[in-house]
Amino acid sequence: MKKMRKIFAVLLTLAMVLAMSMTTFAAKTGATLTVKGLATNGDQKVDIYEIYRLDDDDNNWVPASWTEGTGVTTKNITDQNILEALKTKAITLEPGATQTTSAGSVEFKNLQAGAYLVLVTDTTGKTTYNTMVAKTYKYDESNNLLCPIDETVVAKAEGYTTDKTADATNVEIGDLITYTVKTTVPYQDGNVEAFSVTDTLTGATYYLKGDAVKGKAAVNTITVNGRTVEGLDKLDETLNGATTFTLDLKNLVTSKNTYAGQEVVITYTAKVNKVNEITNTANSTHDSDGTITKTYTGNATITKYDETTNVLAGAQFVVYRNVNKEGNTVKEYAVIDDNGWITGEWRPEGENHALPEGIGSITTSAEGTATVKGLKMGEYYFQEVVAPDGYSINTNDVKFEMIEKGKKNQVVTGVEAKKPRKYQNERYQTLRSSIHRWYRYYNLHNRWMPDHGYSSWLILCKPQKNKQIIIRDCL
């Protein structure tokens, strides 16, 4: 019995020694890999590929078969040329696991102890990322493996785009346009010295504070990942009427990368000036090209002719549109300045269809043309209010439509009148040839042509003034 006890004690001691000399850990799986710093301005696709793991005896690292030919080892795994070789090989394969998110981070749970290649793709194409390696293990002070170990890596964006959108492609003078600028907070790796957004307007001015315009309110907001950030003020309201600003966002780039990858959204309004093209350019310190947006107004020209092809100067026109108010269709007249630009103000017609006071008009030139400028898409009418000398007012208003000029890559390229009109006295046009013959016959025979008696009678029944004008202008 004493001999057996001695043998048992020796075996126990030996087991303890062996246990102390072996690598110790609870299990090979159970690690969580967290990828942070992902851009939040669109879906980010995260793929992971196992590079190597422990063998069955937990003694050696075993590389994955797909890494053959890359030259990867446990010691050179972070070398740039090795990473590029791994990436080139991996993108042709199915990943070990994939997640897609716009929340800024993802977690891969219950992973094997080992090393993983992490590839991030922005599905919107706005951001590009570096190639990363995550290790779900580490060594203790005695160089023993402890695993599994949770690991966190921060995605370092290598390129950011600055997006810009406008809420309208066509407007009229005086309208408000709401612009939205989006960019991404860069990762701080010691090289980020500045981070700012610059915005430049042509054809409009900022309207950050003031009364609503045509029912549209001024906007002036800045958010990071959908939230306001203390110390990050809105655009200076004194920018009202200005055409450019630079917003310093350097405070968002921290050593802890608190905001890395998060989306910055800047929203503001601008008021349209008297132009046909409103251009806006937004860029950042990380995207010098930026994005350009264009919004348009359009012009419409009317040409005044006599009953033939002679152009007439001196005809004056106003412009109106039909609007529905309380179930009734009413006319609204555009207020037009001395240069033919609408001001953005529309006034209803008065009682008994009287013209509103002070609306202005356009006048045909020596070439017979008159142009109203600054309209948005829609239906309008030219109404003659003053006839050229020697002519009576044509009471037939001319309808015209403002449409898209065209599109390039699905983007509107302008606004124009659908069918420019030649404005003639159609009554003169239809009667001219007959009256010419009738009048000559009347002068010779002192009576109307017998085979046109009815038509002749209609003309003779016209009021004397109108009859004289018809005959005079048709000769």
What's the CATH number where 304 sits?
2.60.40.10
On whether residue 18 sits in a domain, the answer given is no
Based on the fold, state whether residues 347 and 279 are members of the same structural domain: no
Cα–Cα dist 67/115, whole Å: 12
Reported as a single tens digit per residue, the pLDDT across 420-462 is 555 554 334 334 444 555 555 555 555 554 544 434 434 444 4
Based on the fold, state whether residues 243 and 260 are members of the same structural domain: yes
On whether residue 8 sits in a domain, the answer given is no
- Residues belonging to the chain: 475
| CATH code of 184's domain | 2.60.40.740
Based on the fold, state whether residues 305 and 414 are members of the same structural domain: yes
Number of domains present in the structure of the chain: 4
Q: Given this model, what pLDDT does residue 412 score?
A: 58
On whether residue 128 sits in a domain, the answer given is yes
On whether residue 16 sits in a domain, the answer given is no
- What's the predicted TM-score (pTM) here? 0.69
On whether residue 5 sits in a domain, the answer given is no
Which residue range forms the structural domain that includes residue 414?
A: 298-424
* Burial class of residue 147 in the structure, from the number of CB atoms within 10 Å of its CB (0-12 exposed, 13-18 middle, 19+ buried): buried
Q: Given this model, what pLDDT does residue 4 score?
A: 52
On whether residue 2 sits in a domain, the answer given is no
End-to-end CA distance of the chain: 148
Q: How many CA atoms lie within 13 A of 471 on its CB side?
A: 16
Q: Given this model, what pLDDT does residue 90 score?
A: 95
Based on the fold, state whether residues 302 and 268 are members of the same structural domain: no
Domain's final residue, options 240, 269, 295: 295
Domain's final residue, options 236, 266, 295: 295
Domain's final residue, options 295, 316, 337: 295
Q: Given this model, what pLDDT does residue 461 score?
A: 42
Low-confidence ranges of the chain (pLDDT < 50): 7-8, 10-26, 425-434, 449, 451-475
396 phi/psi in degrees, rounded to 5 = -90, 105
Q: Given this model, what pLDDT does residue 72 score?
A: 93
Based on the fold, state whether residues 106 and 48 are members of the same structural domain: yes
On whether residue 396 sits in a domain, the answer given is yes
Based on the fold, state whether residues 96 and 204 are members of the same structural domain: no
Based on the fold, state whether residues 276 and 346 are members of the same structural domain: no
Based on the fold, state whether residues 166 and 288 are members of the same structural domain: yes
Question: H helices then E strands: how many in the chain?
Answer: 5, 33
Based on the fold, state whether residues 108 and 188 are members of the same structural domain: no
Based on the fold, state whether residues 30 and 83 are members of the same structural domain: yes
On whether residue 399 sits in a domain, the answer given is yes
